[in-house]
């Protein structure tokens, strides 16, 4: 005998009330970050000790600016997905848990916007 309602079965979300969206997003961003973070690490190593002129020239170059913006967006998405799992594992007080997850998501969006804006400002205004 199946006690699940037809609607519940059609939604297919079960007791967790969500599907594999979080898990899947973590993997997709991880795969994207393999080439992106290798590119970033190699580029930053080459910029070691660079003066302002050299750093701004590198950040503002079209290919670098686009890849930087993408890397920052994907990185912050991956970061907040990962931190959410860590918080869910260790913070057991429900109010604290929800508050810290929301705080992490807000901070990620804010920092992603600020850093992408910094890249765009350098690319467009020098």
Partner 1 sequence: MSPGSRPLSPHLQIYKPQITSVLSILHRFTGVALVGGVLLLVWWLIAAAAGPDAFVTVQSVMGSWIGRLVLFGFTFSLFYHLCNGIRHIVWDAGYGYGLPAAAASGWTVVAASVILTVAAWVAGYAAMGGA
Q: Which residues bind partner 1 (CB under 8 A)?
A: 27, 30-31, 33-34, 37-38, 41-42, 45-52, 55-56, 59, 68, 75-76, 79, 82-83, 86, 111, 114-115, 117-119, 121-122
Q: Give whichever of 96 and 118 is closer to partner 1, judged by the CB atom.
A: 118
- Taking the CA atoms of residue 22, residue 23, residue 27 and residue 32 in that order, the dihedral angle to the nearest 10 degrees is 0
Cβ at position 25, least distance to partner 1 in Å: 13
Q: How far is the CB of 99 from partner 1 (least distance, A)?
A: 18
Output 86 or 96, the one with its CB closest to partner 1.
Answer: 86
* Helix segments in the chain, DSSP class H: 6-11, 21-46, 52-60, 62-90, 94-125
């Amino acid at each position: 005998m199946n006690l699940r309602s037809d609607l519940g079965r059609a939604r297919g979300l079960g007791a967790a009330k969500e599907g594999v969206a979080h898990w899947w997003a973590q993997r997709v961003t991880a795969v994207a970050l393999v080439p992106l973070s290798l590119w970033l690490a190699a580029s930053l190593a080459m910029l070691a000790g660079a003066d302002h002129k050299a750093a701004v020239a590198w950040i503002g170059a079209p290919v670098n600016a686009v890849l930087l913006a993408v890397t920052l967006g994907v990185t912050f998405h991956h970061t907040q997905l990962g931190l959410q799992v860590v918080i869910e594992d260790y913070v057991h007080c429900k109010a604290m848990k929800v508050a810290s997850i929301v705080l992490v998501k807000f901070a990620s969006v804010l920092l992603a916007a600020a850093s992408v804006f910094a890249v765009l400002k350098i690319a467009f205004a020098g």
